[in-house]
A and B are shown apart, each in its own frame.
Chain A
Amino acid sequence: MQKRAKNNVILIMDLYFDNAATTRLSENALEAYIKTEREFFANPSSVHRDGIKARKELERIRESIASAMSIPPSSLFFTSGATESIATVFSSLLFNEPGRIIISSIEHEAVSSWLPILKHHGWDTVVLKAKGGKADPEELRALLTPDTKLVAVMAVNNVTGAREDIKELVRTVREYERQGNRKIFFFSDSVQALGKVPYDIQELGIDGASFSGHKINGPRGIGMLYLKNPASFRPLAPAGGQERGKRGGTENLPAIAALEQAVLSWLGSFGSEYERISGINQEIRKALEDLGMEILSPEDSSPYIISFVSPLPSEVYVRMLSDKGIAASSGSACSNNSKGEGEKILLSMGIRSSKARNAVRISFSGDTDRESADAFIKAVKEISNGE
């Protein structure tokens, strides 16, 4: 939205509230992209001086990001995005003896779309319920079997912002492992978690995780895969054995450099930003509740996402917000055309269909400030008053 002030200066207010779908590329990331594209254009696999220079830059960035995330650089792989990171893990299962795989009912399609494929190949696919948005460790315990090979629960849900108790879920799996003396791989899609909620891979004890650049003001087409023990994983496409054999194809170095800026920026300002956004979150929650709207996001959700029940079908409400210059989402932005993936997630959480149909998601980023939050609240009030 543009507001024209009296002295004819245009003030641009950020009324973009769809940051869980994608974020604006930050200036730092864009600069790093351009600089790296210019200075390190050579193929990191080439043996000439320029190639070696690019390779060194690639490994420098890997170390820098790994250090910021407190993980060994050898466990971090650059991919084209979270979807590919997830596909690398799940497609690897196809080369193993089938067993049981358990995923939560609120996983993103990037994960859940693998179920029919695995089932077709003889896997016993089981869905772990997430009543109220949260998977229960005890329910997980009841589903574990001696032939369970993989458990996948996302760290932060993209529709509601619900934070899963990954630490406790992992502990449950590890306890069970000790009984059967067989390793179970714990995977956690962490796209909405990195930089946005307290998140420490070592502390959580997970075996694999996926990350996306464009959800944290980095570019599209770049993401990361964390593998605690990479040995048993196959690449989707071996190609030239890049990324230590886990991800073939020439490395997207400028995007990786931009991603570094994005990760460092989010992790660097984590504490203060978390506080700031939590404050804005509380303010908006209260305003919505005062207008009689139910909040679907659990209390302790990521502060960056609020899902609420609007008085109208979500698509209509989102259009009304859009007319007031506000970008919000009706469910999950990835699937606005294939009818309500977000709606399905909400239904699986036990939310009544009349509410799920009206669910609207707003999501924040570092660009969100008090002023934009107030503008949002004003718009919501206007709609409620029929203006």
Chain B
Amino acid sequence: MENKLYLIKEGEISLKGGNRNLFEKRLRHNIKDKLRPYSSEIGKQKGRLYAYISDEVPDELIEKALSTTTGITGYARAHRAEKDMEAIKAKALEILPSSSFSSSGSFRITVKREDKTFPYTSHDIAIELASVVTSLYPDIRVDLDHPDYTLTCEIRNEAYLYTDENKGEGGLPSGTAGKGMLLLSGGIDSPVAGYMMARRGMRADAIYFHAYPYTSELALEKVKTLASLIAPYLQGLRLFVVPFTEGQLYIRDNGYEEEATLMFRAAMMKTAERIATANGASAIITGEALSQVASQTIDAMSFTDSMTDLLVIRPLVGMDKEEIIEKAKRIGTYDTSILPYEDCCVVFSPKHPVTRPVKSVSKRHFEELSMDGIIEKAIRETVVYSFDANGREIDA
């Protein structure tokens, strides 16, 4: 069976010292996981991974797998040639026509001669390959600093040639930085928050608080879609859907109106902590950004923090909305997030919410609500959906 060969650059992992092997092992595992059920072999040589992927795998699937796997800074389809100048030139002649190279534009040749026993110098190889390029594209210019196209030749155990290098996600491989529990709503922010932590190597599951019939079935479908969209970055995730209508109504009917949102956030933290701990997560991730809404002031966030012993991570806390939207668009969650199935939170949102709660007072008020039983019941009735590393829903 023929293989396709991809060269993969690891970026930040290469800065790691003694743990480097662990990180690389995880990265290789993550890539292979996404390419399943197809077979792939991933080898390693001097700061590069070489993925030999079965010819049967569609290019789009490889593209999606490599572009969403965190820890990869760049990748390229590479072509092998014998370590022989004529063979290398012949291979270049073969691959250039299907690359992005064209006569209008500029190019450079980059040579990496790791194998110092190869009889030609880097300069020699570059000259030879440039003559191949100009024979195909007579009007193409040379530009060493800002080329439109680059043909790279690496001389290692074999010769490797590649043209179009794609940028990867960067960051660290998923599964190397512990596990978090993401509070996922249907909005723009929380999927981005999950993605941000995925880039730092964190795995995560997600929790959605569903208040049917105050929120619609379509809102749940939307959250499931968002979960599937961020699943590739997180190497798959589970979505815990917590039915919380009873809790919402209870807070509305028994709490202080202007504190309703805070009390709900507090109950969410309590619930999330329980689900996180039971599922091996040691942090709660939220999409809060400072002062975006009344419940996201310093005082309000400080209060909700006090509801859990777990670390609360807010990767978007210092970002403005435009930046968040830009990221949401890039990872493909934006169009889903802006679908109009918003919940009817008007029923539960106070007209004049408290923005500067006094922690000790709000804590006391929350304790007075004594919601343990309601939270217990909500957790018992929680429904779990699972998404694999390619974002496909699978049996939980």
Cβ–Cβ < 8 Å partners of B344 in chain A: 312-313, 315-316
Q: Once the chains bind, are A316 and B340 in contact (CB under 8 Å)?
A: no
Tell me, rounded to whole Å, the shortest Cβ–Cβ distance linking B362 to chain A. 27
Cβ–Cβ < 8 Å partners of A319 in chain B: 212-213, 216
Tell me, rounded to whole Å, the shortest Cβ–Cβ distance linking A380 to chain B. 15
Cβ–Cβ < 8 Å partners of A323 in chain B: 213
Cβ–Cβ < 8 Å partners of B340 in chain A: 337-339
> Which chain A residue shows the least CB distance to B217?
A319
| Interface size, B (range) | under 10
In the assembled complex, the Cα of A36 lies from the Cα of B376 at a distance in Å of: 62
A126 at interface, CB cutoff 8 A: no
> Which chain B residue shows the least CB distance to A323?
B213
A377 at interface, CB cutoff 8 A: no
A interface residues, tally (CB under 8 Å): 11
B250 at interface, CB cutoff 8 A: no
- A310-344 CB mask vs B (1 if < 8 Å, else 0) is 00110110011001000000000000011100000
List residues of B (205-263) whose CB comes within 8 Å of A's CBs: 212-214, 216
Tell me, rounded to whole Å, the shortest Cβ–Cβ distance linking A42 to chain B. 45
B346 at interface, CB cutoff 8 A: yes
List residues of B (318-369) whose CB comes within 8 Å of A's CBs: 340, 344, 346-347
Cβ–Cβ < 8 Å partners of B346 in chain A: 313, 357
Q: Once the chains bind, are A320 and B213 in contact (CB under 8 Å)?
A: yes
> Which chain B residue shows the least CB distance to A312?
B347
Cβ–Cβ < 8 Å partners of B213 in chain A: 316, 319-320, 323
Cβ–Cβ < 8 Å partners of A315 in chain B: 216, 344
Tell me, rounded to whole Å, the shortest Cβ–Cβ distance linking B47 to chain A. 52
Tell me, rounded to whole Å, the shortest Cβ–Cβ distance linking A349 to chain B. 22
In the assembled complex, the Cα of A80 lies from the Cα of B84 at a distance in Å of: 72
In the assembled complex, the Cα of A312 lies from the Cα of B213 at a distance in Å of: 11
Tell me, rounded to whole Å, the shortest Cβ–Cβ distance linking B220 to chain A. 12
Question: Mostly helix, strand, loop or mixed at chain A's interface?
Answer: loop
Total cross-chain contacts (CB, 8 A) = 20
In the assembled complex, the Cα of A337 lies from the Cα of B341 at a distance in Å of: 8
Tell me, rounded to whole Å, the shortest Cβ–Cβ distance linking B197 to chain A. 33
Among B212, B213, B340, residue most surrounded by chain A Cβ atoms (within 10 Å): B213
Cβ–Cβ < 8 Å partners of A337 in chain B: 340
In the assembled complex, the Cα of A313 lies from the Cα of B346 at a distance in Å of: 8
List residues of A (263-312) whose CB comes within 8 Å of B's CBs: 312
> Which chain A residue shows the least CB distance to B249?
A386
Tell me, rounded to whole Å, the shortest Cβ–Cβ distance linking B342 to chain A. 10
In the assembled complex, the Cα of A197 lies from the Cα of B373 at a distance in Å of: 55
In the assembled complex, the Cα of A198 lies from the Cα of B346 at a distance in Å of: 41
In the assembled complex, the Cα of A132 lies from the Cα of B173 at a distance in Å of: 64
Cβ–Cβ < 8 Å partners of B216 in chain A: 315, 319
> Which chain A residue shows the least CB distance to B211?
A316
> Which chain A residue shows the least CB distance to B346?
A313
List residues of B (110-153) whose CB comes within 8 Å of A's CBs: none
In the assembled complex, the Cα of A357 lies from the Cα of B347 at a distance in Å of: 11
Tell me, rounded to whole Å, the shortest Cβ–Cβ distance linking B209 to chain A. 16
Tell me, rounded to whole Å, the shortest Cβ–Cβ distance linking A294 to chain B. 19
Tell me, rounded to whole Å, the shortest Cβ–Cβ distance linking B272 to chain A. 25
Cβ–Cβ < 8 Å partners of A320 in chain B: 213
List residues of B (182-216) whose CB comes within 8 Å of A's CBs: 212-214, 216
Tell me, rounded to whole Å, the shortest Cβ–Cβ distance linking B216 to chain A. 6
- A243-258 CB mask vs B (1 if < 8 Å, else 0) is 0000000000000000
Cβ–Cβ < 8 Å partners of B212 in chain A: 319
Tell me, rounded to whole Å, the shortest Cβ–Cβ distance linking A96 to chain B. 38
In the assembled complex, the Cα of A316 lies from the Cα of B212 at a distance in Å of: 8
Tell me, rounded to whole Å, the shortest Cβ–Cβ distance linking A150 to chain B. 34
Tell me, rounded to whole Å, the shortest Cβ–Cβ distance linking B301 to chain A. 29
In the assembled complex, the Cα of A319 lies from the Cα of B340 at a distance in Å of: 16
Cβ–Cβ < 8 Å partners of B214 in chain A: 316
Tell me, rounded to whole Å, the shortest Cβ–Cβ distance linking A323 to chain B. 7
Tell me, rounded to whole Å, the shortest Cβ–Cβ distance linking A331 to chain B. 14
In the assembled complex, the Cα of A339 lies from the Cα of B341 at a distance in Å of: 10
In the assembled complex, the Cα of A331 lies from the Cα of B212 at a distance in Å of: 20
In the assembled complex, the Cα of A339 lies from the Cα of B213 at a distance in Å of: 17
Among B212, B344, B347, residue most surrounded by chain A Cβ atoms (within 10 Å): B344
In the assembled complex, the Cα of A316 lies from the Cα of B248 at a distance in Å of: 14
> Which chain B residue shows the least CB distance to A339?
B340
List residues of A (335-372) whose CB comes within 8 Å of B's CBs: 337-339, 357
Tell me, rounded to whole Å, the shortest Cβ–Cβ distance linking B242 to chain A. 19
In the assembled complex, the Cα of A319 lies from the Cα of B245 at a distance in Å of: 14
Cβ–Cβ < 8 Å partners of A338 in chain B: 340
In the assembled complex, the Cα of A338 lies from the Cα of B214 at a distance in Å of: 18
> Which chain B residue shows the least CB distance to A320?
B213
In the assembled complex, the Cα of A316 lies from the Cα of B213 at a distance in Å of: 6
Tell me, rounded to whole Å, the shortest Cβ–Cβ distance linking B210 to chain A. 12
- A226-240 CB mask vs B (1 if < 8 Å, else 0) is 000000000000000
In the assembled complex, the Cα of A202 lies from the Cα of B225 at a distance in Å of: 55
Tell me, rounded to whole Å, the shortest Cβ–Cβ distance linking A385 to chain B. 14
In the assembled complex, the Cα of A312 lies from the Cα of B346 at a distance in Å of: 10
Cβ–Cβ < 8 Å partners of A316 in chain B: 213-214, 344, 347
Cβ–Cβ < 8 Å partners of A312 in chain B: 344, 347
In the assembled complex, the Cα of A316 lies from the Cα of B344 at a distance in Å of: 7
Cβ–Cβ < 8 Å partners of A313 in chain B: 344, 346-347
Contact sample, A vs B, 7 pairs, CB 8 Å cutoff: A312-B347, A313-B347, A316-B213, A316-B214, A316-B347, A319-B216, A320-B213
Q: A312-B347, A313-B344 are in contact. List 14 more A-B contacts (CB 8 A).
A: A312-B344, A313-B346, A315-B216, A315-B344, A316-B213, A316-B214, A316-B344, A316-B347, A319-B212, A319-B213, A319-B216, A320-B213, A337-B340, A339-B340
